[in-house]
Every structure is written in structure tokens, then in C-alpha cells.
């Protein structure tokens, strides 16, 4: 089970890092548009399209990566006060009741939506350049699939926490300072409790 979770985490990490390049494309496209619009007085017909397509791709494809890093928003004020096995039990119920039905719906509806877009060779109605958007709509069911896979890994993580009494380690990656401090305190508390048992 641990090897499976590690594989899914690595897959989500790779996808998240790959699509992070959308930020660079988005920044360069927007900067170029600002320059040519306000300095040269010659706005482009494609910069808006690049902006919303890159943002949309990043938003969709970074979801599984964010989940693998435990980075989604939650009611931490209450959640942090619970013991880790209690957190895992609540997470497990929420994954089964809400998360998996939502990801399955995203895959099903996204597949229908993307297939229809490919059939019509859909272009952006907001774009003077008629930029094709059917390749981007294909990301909807793909994002649902990655979210579903990461959800399975999270359920495995919950079961492991319930069994062991603490959350298993996640892959190390960049993290916010608050998370780093929280993890350092958890490690210190775990070390002290292990030292007290001896």
C-alpha cells in the first residue's frame, strides 16, 4: 500500500510540476500584452485567450498535486484540535461521501463535454483569433482521473493513520512556512513521546 501511495504521489508531483510552467507562459503573455498595448498602442488578439487557457490548465491539473501536498483549504481551526486518527476517520468519510462522487461526475461530464467540443472543433467565441479550445477541454476528464487516483492514495493514507495513530509522511516538496513550522512541532512532539515511552 505504501508503494502505491508513493507512486500516485510521484505522479501527481510530476503532473503538478509540469503544468507549473503555465505560470511562466501566463506571465510572459500578460507582460507582452501590457507592453504592446500601453507602450506601442497595438494590442494583440490572442493574449486574453492565452491567459485564460493557461490559468484554466493550471487550475485543473494542479488539483491532484495540491491534494497530494495536503494544500487544499479546510476548516483548520476545528480540524487541528482533533487527534490524528479522528482527522483520518472524518477525512475517510468525506472522501467516500463527497470526494469520489464529485471526481466521478467530473470525469463523466468532462468526457461528454470534451467529446462534443472535439466533434464540433470548437473555437473560442470570445476570441477574435478563433483559437481552438477543444484540446484544453480534454483536460477536464484528465484532471478528474488524476484527482480520482490521488483520492485513492489519500484514502490509503487515512487507513494507515487510523491503524498507526499518526499521519504517514508525505513526499517532501516546497511548502509554506506555516506548514514547515507545524511539521517541525509534530516531529518534536513525536520524538518526545517516543523518548517518554522508553
In order, the DSSP letters of 152-172 are HHHHHHHHHHHHHSSPPPPPP
Determine the structural domain holding residue 164 and report its residue range.
2-185
Helix, strand and coil percent figures for the chain, each rounded to 5:
75, 0, 25
Band of the pLDDT at 90, cuts 50, 70, 90? very high
Residue 182 to residue 171: CA distance in whole angstroms: 16
Counting DSSP H helices and E strands in the chain, the numbers are 10, 0
* Residue 24 located in a structural domain: yes
Would you state the cell numbers that stand for residue 178, as one nine-digit string?
Answer: 506555516
pTM over 0.85? The answer is no
Which set of grid coordinates corresponds to residue 114?
470534451
Residue 192: pLDDT above 90?
A: no
190 belongs to a structural domain: no
Q: Compare 192 and 163 and report the one with higher pLDDT.
A: 163
Does residue 195 lie within any of the structural domains? no
- What mean pLDDT is predicted for residues 175-186? 75
Number of domains in the chain: 1
Dist. CA 59–CA 121, nearest whole Å = 23
Q: Please check whether residue 20 lies inside any domain of the structure.
A: yes
Q: Which residue has the higher pLDDT, 71 or 165?
A: 165
User: Does residue 196 lie in a domain region?
Assistant: no
Lookup: cell for 60: 485543473
Residue 159 lies in a domain: yes
Task: Decide if 80 is inside a domain.
Answer: yes
Asked if pLDDT for residue 176 goes beyond 70, the answer is: no
pLDDT band at 159 (very low <50, low <70, confident <90, very high): very high
Q: What is the mean pLDDT of the chain?
A: 88
Is residue 34 within 8 A of residue 116, CB to CB? The reply is: no
Would you say residue 197 lies in a domain?
no
Identify the bridge partners of residue 132 per DSSP, sorted by sequence position: 123
Is the backbone of residue 70 left (phi > 0), alpha (psi -120 to 50) or beta?
left
> In this prediction, what percent of the chain has a pLDDT beyond 90?
57
Amino acid at each position: 500500500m505504501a508503494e502505491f501511495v508513493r507512486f500516485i504521489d510521484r505522479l501527481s508531483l510530476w503532473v503538478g510540476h509540469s503544468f507549473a510552467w503555465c505560470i511562466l507562459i501566463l506571465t510572459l503573455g500578460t507582460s507582452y500584452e501590457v507592453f504592446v498595448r500601453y507602450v506601442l498602442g497595438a494590442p494583440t488578439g490572442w493574449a486574453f485567450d492565452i491567459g485564460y487557457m493557461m490559468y484554466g490548465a493550471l487550475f485543473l491539473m494542479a488539483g491532484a498535486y495540491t491534494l497530494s501536498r495536503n494544500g487544499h483549504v479546510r476548516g483548520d481551526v476545528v480540524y487541528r484540535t482533533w487527534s490524528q486518527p479522528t482527522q483520518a476517520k472524518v477525512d475517510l468519510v468525506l472522501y467516500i461521501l463527497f470526494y469520489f462522487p464529485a471526481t466521478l461526475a467530473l470525469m463523466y461530464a468532462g468526457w461528454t463535454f470534451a467529446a462534443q467540443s472535439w466533434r464540433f472543433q470548437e473555437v473560442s467565441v470570445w476570441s477574435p483569433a478563433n483559437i481552438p479550445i477543444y484540446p484544453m477541454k480534454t483536460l477536464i476528464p484528465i484532471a478528474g482521473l488524476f484527482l480520482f487516483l490521488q483520492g485513492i492514495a489519500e484514502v490509503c493514507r487515512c487507513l494507515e493513520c487510523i491503524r498507526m495513530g499518526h499521519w504517514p509522511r508525505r513526499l517532501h516538496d516546497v511548502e509554506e512556512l506555516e506548514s514547515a513550522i507545524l511539521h517541525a512541532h509534530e516531529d518534536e512532539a513525536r520524538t518526545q513521546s517516543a523518548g517518554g515511552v522508553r
